[in-house]
Amino acid sequence: MSPGASCSGVPVPLRPAGTHTFLLPAAPPFVSKCTINRRDPRTASSCFGKAITPKRCFVVAGGLTWVDGVEEELMELQKTQEQSSGKLKKRPPLRRGKVYPQLPVPEHIPRPSYVGANIPQELPAVRQIHNAEGIAGMRAACKLAARVLDFAGTLVKPSVTTNEIDRAVHHMIVEAGAYPSPLGYGGFPKSICTSVNECVCHGLPDSTQLQVL
């Protein structure tokens, strides 16, 4: 960020040499002033926001439009990103591993209504309003969910399989007397989703080992 520039919406009182300011029309209220800086490839750093040289920067306020000189800056930025991405180590595509059988849930733990149904039930038109007992139950469930999420994060390490993470999280939930909500929803056979790399969402835990490239 150059001296005097701001991304908080406040006025920019100072402009370094080589800075051009453009006031653009039709600005939504949430759009704030920001600065487009050009990185010097000789001093570029991997740390965001460092090694910025004010050779040419634009302080922009308002809606998006095209400004002379911006095209060259964007093309140079794209070229730099392509060059840096070419140096990254390529990894093999994600392959599905062995999926292990569904883990059991003790009989004394209540099942959600969707368990056993391949198609999730429609939500009721009337929304539930919790009383004091219901609110206390919601708080307890949220606290448990937070602890489970923190615990699952500690298991994410190289050589650990996603199935091992699912098994550990499953046991933690049922030992607390709760039901793993993903299990059985729409026929999903696991207690968590593990979406690695190009697996966008709802990845099945399996024998895939986590790696560091």
For residue 61, the enclosing domain spans 19-85
Inside any domain, residue 25: yes
- Total tally of structural domains belonging to the chain: 2
- Helix axes of 162-175 and 132-154: crossing angle, nearest 10 degrees: 150
Residue 53 has pLDDT above 80, yes or no: no
Whether residues 93 and 191 fall in one domain: yes
Whether residues 147 and 205 fall in one domain: yes
Task: Count CB-CB contacts under 10 A for residue 178.
Answer: 17
Residue 176 in tokens: 């607390």
- Confidence band of 117 (pLDDT split at 50, 70, 90): confident
- Confidence band of 27 (pLDDT split at 50, 70, 90): very low
Q: 184 burial class (0-12, 13-18, 19+ CB within 10 angstroms)? A: buried
Least confident segment among 17-21, 115-119, 200-204? 17-21
Q: Are 182 and 166 in contact (CB under 8 A)?
A: no
What is the chain's mean pLDDT, rounded? 75
